[in-house]
Structure 1
Amino acid sequence: MSVLIVEDDDRLMDALRGFLRKSGYVTVSAADAQQALSQLSSDTEVVLLDLGLPDMDGVELCRLIRQQSGVPIIIATARSHVQERIRGLRAGADDFVVKPYNVLELVARIEAVTRRFRTVASEQTLDQVVEVSGARLDLASRVLEVAGRPIDLTRTEFDIVAVLARYPGVVMPRERIIREVWQTDWHSYSRSLEVHVGSIRRKSGRVDLIETVRGVGYRFAGG
Protein backbone atom coordinates (compact mmCIF):
# COMPACT_ATOMS: atom_id res chain seq x y z
CA MET A 1 0.00 0.00 0.00
CA SER A 2 1.31 3.43 -0.97
CA VAL A 3 0.93 6.29 1.53
CA LEU A 4 1.57 9.90 0.54
CA ILE A 5 2.86 11.72 3.64
CA VAL A 6 2.45 15.50 3.46
CA GLU A 7 4.50 16.92 6.35
CA ASP A 8 6.94 19.84 6.58
CA ASP A 9 8.59 18.72 9.82
CA ASP A 10 11.65 16.75 8.68
CA ARG A 11 12.07 14.82 11.94
CA LEU A 12 8.43 13.77 12.05
CA MET A 13 8.52 12.90 8.37
CA ASP A 14 11.53 10.64 8.86
CA ALA A 15 9.93 8.97 11.87
CA LEU A 16 6.64 8.36 10.06
CA ARG A 17 8.34 7.12 6.94
CA GLY A 18 10.48 4.69 8.91
CA PHE A 19 7.60 3.32 10.98
CA LEU A 20 5.23 2.92 8.04
CA ARG A 21 7.89 1.18 5.97
CA LYS A 22 8.53 -1.26 8.83
CA SER A 23 4.77 -1.85 8.89
CA GLY A 24 4.83 -2.87 5.23
CA TYR A 25 3.79 0.40 3.56
CA VAL A 26 5.38 2.12 0.57
CA THR A 27 5.80 5.82 1.38
CA VAL A 28 6.01 8.93 -0.78
CA SER A 29 6.82 12.22 0.92
CA ALA A 30 6.01 15.86 0.28
CA ALA A 31 7.06 18.88 2.37
CA ASP A 32 4.53 21.32 0.92
CA ALA A 33 1.31 21.53 -1.08
CA GLN A 34 2.93 21.83 -4.49
CA GLN A 35 5.03 18.73 -3.93
CA ALA A 36 1.98 16.88 -2.66
CA LEU A 37 -0.05 17.64 -5.77
CA SER A 38 2.82 16.60 -8.01
CA GLN A 39 3.35 13.35 -6.06
CA LEU A 40 -0.35 12.40 -6.06
CA SER A 41 -0.94 9.60 -8.55
CA SER A 42 -3.20 6.68 -9.35
CA ASP A 43 -0.89 4.54 -7.18
CA THR A 44 -1.61 6.63 -4.06
CA GLU A 45 -3.87 4.63 -1.76
CA VAL A 46 -4.08 7.00 1.22
CA VAL A 47 -2.92 10.54 2.00
CA LEU A 48 -1.66 11.52 5.46
CA LEU A 49 -2.02 15.29 5.47
CA ASP A 50 -0.60 17.86 7.90
CA LEU A 51 -2.54 21.14 8.04
CA GLY A 52 0.41 23.41 8.86
CA LEU A 53 2.13 23.64 5.48
CA PRO A 54 4.45 26.49 4.40
CA ASP A 55 2.80 27.33 1.05
CA MET A 56 -0.89 26.61 1.54
CA ASP A 57 -3.41 25.92 4.26
CA GLY A 58 -3.78 22.15 4.60
CA VAL A 59 -7.58 22.34 4.44
CA GLU A 60 -7.36 24.02 1.04
CA LEU A 61 -4.93 21.35 -0.14
CA CYS A 62 -7.38 18.70 1.08
CA ARG A 63 -10.06 20.33 -1.05
CA LEU A 64 -7.79 20.36 -4.11
CA ILE A 65 -6.86 16.70 -3.65
CA ARG A 66 -10.51 15.75 -3.33
CA GLN A 67 -11.28 17.54 -6.61
CA GLN A 68 -8.72 15.33 -8.34
CA SER A 69 -9.08 12.02 -6.55
CA GLY A 70 -11.28 9.90 -4.32
CA VAL A 71 -8.23 8.67 -2.40
CA PRO A 72 -8.79 8.35 1.37
CA ILE A 73 -7.41 11.37 3.27
CA ILE A 74 -6.42 11.38 6.94
CA ILE A 75 -5.62 14.76 8.45
CA ALA A 76 -2.88 14.82 11.08
CA THR A 77 -2.72 18.10 12.95
CA ALA A 78 -1.74 19.82 16.17
CA ARG A 79 -4.85 22.00 15.83
CA SER A 80 -7.10 20.46 18.45
CA HIS A 81 -9.98 22.93 18.10
CA VAL A 82 -13.12 21.19 16.88
CA GLN A 83 -13.76 23.85 14.22
CA GLU A 84 -10.51 22.92 12.49
CA ARG A 85 -11.61 19.30 12.37
CA ILE A 86 -14.98 20.30 10.96
CA ARG A 87 -13.26 22.38 8.25
CA GLY A 88 -11.13 19.40 7.29
CA LEU A 89 -14.05 16.98 7.14
CA ARG A 90 -16.10 19.39 5.06
CA ALA A 91 -13.17 19.79 2.68
CA GLY A 92 -13.29 16.05 1.98
CA ALA A 93 -11.12 14.40 4.63
CA ASP A 94 -12.19 10.95 5.77
CA ASP A 95 -10.62 11.00 9.22
CA PHE A 96 -8.25 12.96 11.46
CA VAL A 97 -5.75 12.38 14.24
CA VAL A 98 -4.51 15.05 16.64
CA LYS A 99 -0.78 15.39 17.31
CA PRO A 100 0.85 13.90 19.24
CA TYR A 101 -0.77 10.63 18.27
CA ASN A 102 0.06 6.97 18.77
CA VAL A 103 1.55 5.51 15.59
CA LEU A 104 -0.27 2.23 16.16
CA GLU A 105 -3.57 4.12 16.19
CA LEU A 106 -2.52 5.88 13.01
CA VAL A 107 -1.91 2.55 11.28
CA ALA A 108 -5.29 1.29 12.50
CA ARG A 109 -6.99 4.35 11.05
CA ILE A 110 -5.17 3.92 7.74
CA GLU A 111 -6.39 0.32 7.63
CA ALA A 112 -9.95 1.41 8.49
CA VAL A 113 -10.31 4.08 5.79
CA THR A 114 -8.74 1.95 3.07
CA ARG A 115 -10.81 -1.10 4.06
CA ARG A 116 -13.99 0.97 3.89
CA PHE A 117 -12.98 2.40 0.52
CA ARG A 118 -12.43 -1.05 -0.93
CA THR A 119 -15.60 -2.48 0.60
CA VAL A 120 -17.79 0.28 -0.82
CA ALA A 121 -16.20 -0.05 -4.25
CA SER A 122 -16.69 -3.82 -4.33
CA GLU A 123 -20.37 -3.55 -3.36
CA GLN A 124 -21.34 -1.26 -6.22
CA THR A 125 -23.59 -2.77 -8.91
CA LEU A 126 -25.15 -1.27 -12.02
CA ASP A 127 -28.76 -1.49 -10.83
CA GLN A 128 -28.47 -0.21 -7.27
CA VAL A 129 -30.82 2.78 -7.24
CA VAL A 130 -32.84 3.98 -4.26
CA GLU A 131 -35.63 6.51 -4.69
CA VAL A 132 -37.56 7.92 -1.73
CA SER A 133 -39.13 11.24 -0.70
CA GLY A 134 -37.80 13.22 -3.64
CA ALA A 135 -34.29 11.82 -3.25
CA ARG A 136 -32.60 9.49 -5.74
CA LEU A 137 -29.47 7.60 -4.77
CA ASP A 138 -27.46 5.79 -7.46
CA LEU A 139 -24.99 3.50 -5.72
CA ALA A 140 -23.19 2.58 -8.93
CA SER A 141 -22.38 6.12 -10.03
CA ARG A 142 -22.31 7.35 -6.40
CA VAL A 143 -24.67 10.25 -7.10
CA LEU A 144 -27.36 11.67 -4.81
CA GLU A 145 -30.06 13.78 -6.43
CA VAL A 146 -32.63 15.76 -4.45
CA ALA A 147 -35.58 17.09 -6.46
CA GLY A 148 -33.58 16.32 -9.61
CA ARG A 149 -30.54 18.31 -8.45
CA PRO A 150 -27.22 16.44 -8.03
CA ILE A 151 -25.66 17.01 -4.60
CA ASP A 152 -21.87 17.30 -4.33
CA LEU A 153 -21.02 14.93 -1.48
CA THR A 154 -17.66 13.73 -0.20
CA ARG A 155 -17.05 9.99 -0.27
CA THR A 156 -17.75 9.66 3.45
CA GLU A 157 -20.97 11.68 3.20
CA PHE A 158 -22.16 9.49 0.35
CA ASP A 159 -21.34 6.33 2.30
CA ILE A 160 -23.44 7.56 5.24
CA VAL A 161 -26.40 8.30 2.96
CA ALA A 162 -25.99 4.90 1.29
CA VAL A 163 -26.11 3.06 4.63
CA LEU A 164 -29.26 4.92 5.70
CA ALA A 165 -30.99 4.76 2.32
CA ARG A 166 -30.85 0.98 2.21
CA TYR A 167 -33.44 1.00 5.00
CA PRO A 168 -35.61 4.13 4.50
CA GLY A 169 -37.69 4.95 7.56
CA VAL A 170 -35.72 2.56 9.77
CA VAL A 171 -33.72 3.99 12.67
CA MET A 172 -30.05 3.09 12.30
CA PRO A 173 -28.04 3.16 15.55
CA ARG A 174 -24.97 5.36 15.54
CA GLU A 175 -22.78 2.37 16.33
CA ARG A 176 -23.98 0.48 13.25
CA ILE A 177 -23.48 3.49 10.94
CA ILE A 178 -19.95 3.98 12.28
CA ARG A 179 -19.20 0.28 11.91
CA GLU A 180 -20.41 0.16 8.29
CA VAL A 181 -18.93 3.48 7.14
CA TRP A 182 -15.64 3.57 9.07
CA GLN A 183 -15.28 -0.21 9.57
CA THR A 184 -14.60 0.26 13.27
CA ASP A 185 -16.41 0.30 16.60
CA TRP A 186 -14.48 3.32 17.91
CA HIS A 187 -16.79 5.78 19.67
CA SER A 188 -14.36 8.57 18.75
CA TYR A 189 -16.09 8.67 15.34
CA SER A 190 -19.39 9.82 16.86
CA ARG A 191 -18.52 13.50 16.47
CA SER A 192 -17.34 12.92 12.90
CA LEU A 193 -20.70 11.30 12.12
CA GLU A 194 -22.56 14.34 13.45
CA VAL A 195 -20.44 16.72 11.36
CA HIS A 196 -20.98 14.71 8.18
CA VAL A 197 -24.75 14.43 8.72
CA GLY A 198 -24.93 18.20 9.22
CA SER A 199 -22.99 18.73 6.00
CA ILE A 200 -25.32 16.40 4.05
CA ARG A 201 -28.35 18.34 5.26
CA ARG A 202 -26.75 21.67 4.41
CA LYS A 203 -25.65 20.63 0.91
CA SER A 204 -28.97 18.97 0.04
CA GLY A 205 -31.07 21.83 1.38
CA ARG A 206 -33.19 19.19 3.09
CA VAL A 207 -32.94 19.29 6.87
CA ASP A 208 -35.51 16.48 6.97
CA LEU A 209 -33.55 14.21 4.63
CA ILE A 210 -31.86 12.57 7.61
CA GLU A 211 -33.79 12.60 10.86
CA THR A 212 -32.01 12.49 14.22
CA VAL A 213 -33.54 10.02 16.64
CA ARG A 214 -32.26 11.28 19.97
CA GLY A 215 -30.27 8.77 21.96
CA VAL A 216 -30.36 6.16 19.18
CA GLY A 217 -29.14 7.26 15.76
CA TYR A 218 -30.45 8.46 12.41
CA ARG A 219 -33.24 7.66 9.97
CA PHE A 220 -33.43 8.36 6.24
CA ALA A 221 -36.58 10.22 5.10
CA GLY A 222 -39.51 8.25 3.78
CA GLY A 223 -40.57 6.03 6.60
Structure 2
Amino acid sequence: MGKDRVLIVDDEWNMRNLLRIYLEQAGFGVREAASGSEALDLLRAGAFDAVVLDVMMPDMDGWQVCEELRGFSMAPVLMLSARSDTKDIVKGMKIGADDYLPKPFQPEELTERLRALIRRSRQARLQAGHVRKLDMPGLTIYPEGREVLVEHTPLDLTQKEFDILLLLAENEHRVYSRDMLIENIWGNDYAGDYRVVDTHVKNIREKVQRAGLSYTPIQTVWGVGYRWHRG
Protein backbone atom coordinates (compact mmCIF):
# COMPACT_ATOMS: atom_id res chain seq x y z
CA MET A 1 0.00 0.00 0.00
CA GLY A 2 1.30 3.46 -0.91
CA LYS A 3 1.60 6.54 1.26
CA ASP A 4 -1.46 8.52 2.32
CA ARG A 5 -1.55 11.68 0.18
CA VAL A 6 -2.00 15.01 1.97
CA LEU A 7 -2.51 18.42 0.37
CA ILE A 8 -1.08 21.39 2.32
CA VAL A 9 -2.83 24.70 1.59
CA ASP A 10 -1.17 27.85 2.95
CA ASP A 11 -0.11 31.12 1.31
CA GLU A 12 3.07 31.35 3.43
CA TRP A 13 6.03 29.40 2.04
CA ASN A 14 7.70 29.00 5.44
CA MET A 15 4.62 27.34 6.93
CA ARG A 16 4.11 25.08 3.89
CA ASN A 17 7.75 24.01 4.04
CA LEU A 18 7.55 23.30 7.78
CA LEU A 19 4.36 21.27 7.37
CA ARG A 20 5.85 19.36 4.45
CA ILE A 21 8.91 18.42 6.52
CA TYR A 22 6.72 17.25 9.43
CA LEU A 23 4.42 15.17 7.23
CA GLU A 24 7.09 13.63 5.03
CA GLN A 25 9.05 12.58 8.11
CA ALA A 26 5.85 10.94 9.37
CA GLY A 27 5.53 8.95 6.14
CA PHE A 28 2.89 10.95 4.23
CA GLY A 29 3.03 11.83 0.56
CA VAL A 30 2.72 15.61 0.30
CA ARG A 31 1.61 18.19 -2.29
CA GLU A 32 1.46 21.93 -1.70
CA ALA A 33 -0.85 24.74 -2.80
CA ALA A 34 -0.08 28.43 -2.21
CA SER A 35 -3.66 29.62 -2.66
CA GLY A 36 -7.24 28.46 -2.40
CA SER A 37 -7.79 28.42 -6.15
CA GLU A 38 -4.64 26.35 -6.72
CA ALA A 39 -5.79 23.91 -4.02
CA LEU A 40 -9.19 23.43 -5.64
CA ASP A 41 -7.56 22.80 -9.04
CA LEU A 42 -5.30 20.14 -7.51
CA LEU A 43 -8.20 18.52 -5.65
CA ARG A 44 -10.28 18.34 -8.82
CA ALA A 45 -7.35 16.86 -10.75
CA GLY A 46 -6.39 14.11 -8.31
CA ALA A 47 -7.35 12.20 -5.19
CA PHE A 48 -6.03 13.15 -1.74
CA ASP A 49 -6.52 11.30 1.54
CA ALA A 50 -6.64 14.53 3.58
CA VAL A 51 -6.26 18.31 3.34
CA VAL A 52 -4.40 20.59 5.77
CA LEU A 53 -6.01 23.98 5.20
CA ASP A 54 -4.95 27.35 6.61
CA VAL A 55 -7.84 29.68 7.46
CA MET A 56 -6.27 33.08 6.75
CA MET A 57 -5.35 33.38 3.04
CA PRO A 58 -5.65 36.41 0.75
CA ASP A 59 -7.52 35.27 -2.39
CA MET A 60 -9.89 32.73 -0.84
CA ASP A 61 -9.87 32.08 2.87
CA GLY A 62 -9.99 28.58 4.31
CA TRP A 63 -13.72 28.79 4.96
CA GLN A 64 -14.44 29.48 1.28
CA VAL A 65 -12.09 26.73 0.10
CA CYS A 66 -13.62 24.18 2.45
CA GLU A 67 -17.16 25.09 1.44
CA GLU A 68 -16.39 24.81 -2.28
CA LEU A 69 -14.39 21.63 -1.77
CA ARG A 70 -17.37 19.94 -0.17
CA GLY A 71 -19.25 20.33 -3.44
CA PHE A 72 -17.14 17.61 -5.07
CA SER A 73 -14.97 15.87 -2.46
CA MET A 74 -15.32 14.26 0.95
CA ALA A 75 -11.58 14.27 1.71
CA PRO A 76 -11.05 14.94 5.45
CA VAL A 77 -10.12 18.58 6.13
CA LEU A 78 -7.94 19.69 9.05
CA MET A 79 -8.05 23.46 9.42
CA LEU A 80 -5.16 25.45 10.90
CA SER A 81 -5.48 28.91 12.40
CA ALA A 82 -3.81 31.24 14.90
CA ARG A 83 -7.36 32.00 16.05
CA SER A 84 -8.85 29.53 18.51
CA ASP A 85 -12.23 31.16 19.18
CA THR A 86 -15.08 28.72 19.65
CA LYS A 87 -17.03 30.63 16.97
CA ASP A 88 -14.31 29.89 14.41
CA ILE A 89 -14.21 26.21 15.31
CA VAL A 90 -18.00 25.92 15.05
CA LYS A 91 -18.00 27.79 11.73
CA GLY A 92 -15.44 25.37 10.31
CA MET A 93 -17.41 22.33 11.38
CA LYS A 94 -20.64 23.73 9.93
CA ILE A 95 -19.15 24.18 6.46
CA GLY A 96 -17.61 20.71 6.38
CA ALA A 97 -14.23 20.78 8.17
CA ASP A 98 -13.42 17.61 10.12
CA ASP A 99 -10.97 19.00 12.67
CA TYR A 100 -9.47 22.31 13.80
CA LEU A 101 -5.94 22.75 15.14
CA PRO A 102 -4.85 26.13 16.57
CA LYS A 103 -1.32 27.44 15.98
CA PRO A 104 1.22 26.90 17.39
CA PHE A 105 1.01 23.11 17.54
CA GLN A 106 3.25 20.13 18.10
CA PRO A 107 4.22 18.09 15.00
CA GLU A 108 3.16 14.86 16.72
CA GLU A 109 -0.34 16.21 17.34
CA LEU A 110 -0.71 17.27 13.72
CA THR A 111 0.36 13.91 12.32
CA GLU A 112 -1.73 11.87 14.76
CA ARG A 113 -4.82 13.96 14.09
CA LEU A 114 -4.35 13.45 10.36
CA ARG A 115 -3.94 9.69 10.76
CA ALA A 116 -7.10 9.58 12.88
CA LEU A 117 -9.07 11.60 10.31
CA ILE A 118 -7.97 9.37 7.43
CA ARG A 119 -8.71 6.22 9.41
CA ARG A 120 -12.19 7.42 10.40
CA SER A 121 -12.96 8.50 6.86
CA ARG A 122 -12.09 5.09 5.47
CA GLN A 123 -14.03 3.27 8.18
CA ALA A 124 -17.11 5.43 7.56
CA ARG A 125 -17.06 4.67 3.84
CA LEU A 126 -16.68 0.96 4.49
CA GLN A 127 -19.49 0.90 7.04
CA ALA A 128 -21.76 2.83 4.70
CA GLY A 129 -20.92 0.46 1.88
CA HIS A 130 -19.58 3.35 -0.18
CA VAL A 131 -16.26 1.86 -1.21
CA ARG A 132 -15.33 3.91 -4.24
CA LYS A 133 -14.17 2.02 -7.29
CA LEU A 134 -13.51 2.75 -10.94
CA ASP A 135 -14.74 0.01 -13.26
CA MET A 136 -13.23 -0.37 -16.71
CA PRO A 137 -13.44 -3.37 -19.07
CA GLY A 138 -11.38 -6.06 -17.32
CA LEU A 139 -9.91 -3.51 -14.89
CA THR A 140 -11.06 -2.25 -11.48
CA ILE A 141 -9.37 0.45 -9.40
CA TYR A 142 -10.04 1.00 -5.67
CA PRO A 143 -8.60 4.49 -4.98
CA GLU A 144 -8.77 4.45 -1.18
CA GLY A 145 -7.34 0.95 -0.89
CA ARG A 146 -4.77 1.75 -3.62
CA GLU A 147 -5.60 -1.56 -5.27
CA VAL A 148 -5.90 -2.49 -8.95
CA LEU A 149 -7.49 -5.70 -10.19
CA VAL A 150 -7.10 -7.11 -13.69
CA GLU A 151 -9.81 -9.72 -14.26
CA HIS A 152 -10.12 -10.03 -10.42
CA THR A 153 -6.35 -10.59 -10.00
CA PRO A 154 -4.41 -7.94 -7.97
CA LEU A 155 -1.87 -5.96 -9.96
CA ASP A 156 1.47 -5.24 -8.30
CA LEU A 157 2.16 -1.56 -8.94
CA THR A 158 4.66 0.81 -7.34
CA GLN A 159 3.35 3.94 -5.59
CA LYS A 160 4.09 6.21 -8.56
CA GLU A 161 2.67 3.72 -11.07
CA PHE A 162 -0.58 3.57 -9.11
CA ASP A 163 -0.73 7.37 -8.80
CA ILE A 164 -0.30 7.81 -12.58
CA LEU A 165 -2.89 5.13 -13.36
CA LEU A 166 -5.42 6.63 -10.93
CA LEU A 167 -4.92 10.23 -12.07
CA LEU A 168 -5.49 9.32 -15.72
CA ALA A 169 -8.45 7.03 -14.94
CA GLU A 170 -10.19 9.70 -12.85
CA ASN A 171 -9.75 12.23 -15.64
CA GLU A 172 -10.22 10.02 -18.68
CA HIS A 173 -11.21 12.80 -21.06
CA ARG A 174 -8.17 14.91 -20.25
CA VAL A 175 -4.72 14.72 -21.83
CA TYR A 176 -1.78 15.09 -19.41
CA SER A 177 1.61 16.27 -20.63
CA ARG A 178 4.76 14.99 -18.96
CA ASP A 179 5.05 18.33 -17.15
CA MET A 180 1.51 18.00 -15.77
CA LEU A 181 2.12 14.43 -14.61
CA ILE A 182 5.39 15.42 -12.94
CA GLU A 183 3.64 18.32 -11.17
CA ASN A 184 0.73 16.16 -9.98
CA ILE A 185 2.66 13.02 -9.01
CA TRP A 186 6.19 14.11 -8.11
CA GLY A 187 5.57 17.73 -7.10
CA ASN A 188 6.79 21.16 -8.18
CA ASP A 189 10.27 20.72 -6.72
CA TYR A 190 11.12 17.62 -8.79
CA ALA A 191 14.50 18.15 -10.45
CA GLY A 192 15.06 14.81 -12.18
CA ASP A 193 14.64 13.59 -15.74
CA TYR A 194 11.10 14.09 -17.07
CA ARG A 195 11.46 10.88 -19.09
CA VAL A 196 10.81 9.06 -15.82
CA VAL A 197 7.13 9.46 -16.78
CA ASP A 198 7.68 7.41 -19.95
CA THR A 199 9.41 4.69 -17.95
CA HIS A 200 6.54 4.42 -15.48
CA VAL A 201 3.94 4.35 -18.26
CA LYS A 202 5.91 1.61 -20.03
CA ASN A 203 6.03 -0.43 -16.81
CA ILE A 204 2.27 -0.04 -16.27
CA ARG A 205 1.54 -1.18 -19.81
CA GLU A 206 3.78 -4.22 -19.46
CA LYS A 207 2.24 -5.20 -16.12
CA VAL A 208 -1.37 -4.99 -17.29
CA GLN A 209 -0.48 -6.91 -20.44
CA ARG A 210 1.20 -9.69 -18.44
CA ALA A 211 -1.86 -9.79 -16.18
CA GLY A 212 -4.05 -10.53 -19.20
CA LEU A 213 -5.67 -7.19 -20.03
CA SER A 214 -6.54 -7.18 -23.72
CA TYR A 215 -5.84 -3.47 -24.27
CA THR A 216 -3.51 -0.76 -22.99
CA PRO A 217 -5.33 1.63 -20.61
CA ILE A 218 -2.86 4.48 -21.22
CA GLN A 219 -2.87 5.99 -24.68
CA THR A 220 -0.08 8.14 -26.11
CA VAL A 221 -1.20 11.43 -27.63
CA TRP A 222 1.75 12.15 -29.89
CA GLY A 223 3.44 15.47 -29.24
CA VAL A 224 1.25 16.15 -26.19
CA GLY A 225 1.32 13.42 -23.53
CA TYR A 226 -0.94 10.67 -22.24
CA ARG A 227 -4.60 10.05 -21.60
CA TRP A 228 -6.81 7.23 -20.35
CA HIS A 229 -8.15 4.72 -22.86
CA ARG A 230 -11.20 2.59 -22.16
CA GLY A 231 -10.95 -0.78 -23.84
1:38 — aligned with what? 41
> What is the deviation of 1:109?
0.5
Measured on the aligned residues, the alpha-carbon RMSD in Å equals 1.5
Aligned partners of 1:55 and 1:120: how far apart in 2?
33
Question: Residues 3-152 of structure 1 correspond to what in structure 2 (within 5 A)?
Answer: 3-40=6-43, 41-125=45-129
The one-letter code matched in structure 1 to 2:10 is E
Question: Gaps spanning 5+ residues in structure 1: where?
Answer: 126-139, 142-223
Aligned partners of 1:56 and 1:46: how far apart in 2?
19
2:154 — aligned with what? none
Structure index of larger Rg: 2
> What is the deviation of 1:54?
1.2
Aligned partners of 1:86 and 1:18: how far apart in 2?
29
3-state SS, counterpart of residue 71 of structure 1:
coil
The one-letter code matched in structure 1 to 2:82 is A
Structure 1 length normalisation: TM-score? 0.55
Question: Gaps spanning 5+ residues in structure 2: where?
Answer: 132-231
Aligned partners of 2:91 and 2:64: how far apart in 1?
9
Aligned residues: 127
Q: Kindly provide the CA deviation profile for residues 84-137 of structure 1, in whole angstroms up to 9, marking residues without a partner as x.
A: 111111010000100001110011100111111111111224xxxxxxxxxxxx
The one-letter code matched in structure 1 to 2:79 is I
Write out the 4+ residue segments of structure 1 that deviate beyond 2 Å after TM superposition: none
Q: Provide the identity percentage.
A: 34
Aligned partners of 1:89 and 1:124: how far apart in 2?
21
Aligned partners of 2:83 and 2:72: how far apart in 1?
25
Aligned partners of 1:48 and 1:72: how far apart in 2?
9
Structure 2 length normalisation: TM-score? 0.53
Q: Kindly provide the CA deviation profile for residues 156-200 of structure 1, in whole angstroms up to 9, marking residues without a partner as x.
A: xxxxxxxxxxxxxxxxxxxxxxxxxxxxxxxxxxxxxxxxxxxxx
Aligned partners of 1:107 and 1:22: how far apart in 2?
10
> What is the deviation of 1:42?
3.9
Q: Kindly provide the CA deviation profile for residues 202-222 of structure 1, in whole angstroms up to 9, marking residues without a partner as x.
A: xxxxxxxxxxxxxxxxxxxxx
Aligned partners of 1:25 and 1:78: how far apart in 2?
24
Aligned partners of 2:68 and 2:101: how far apart in 1?
20
3-state SS, counterpart of residue 43 of structure 1:
coil
The one-letter code matched in structure 2 to 1:25 is F
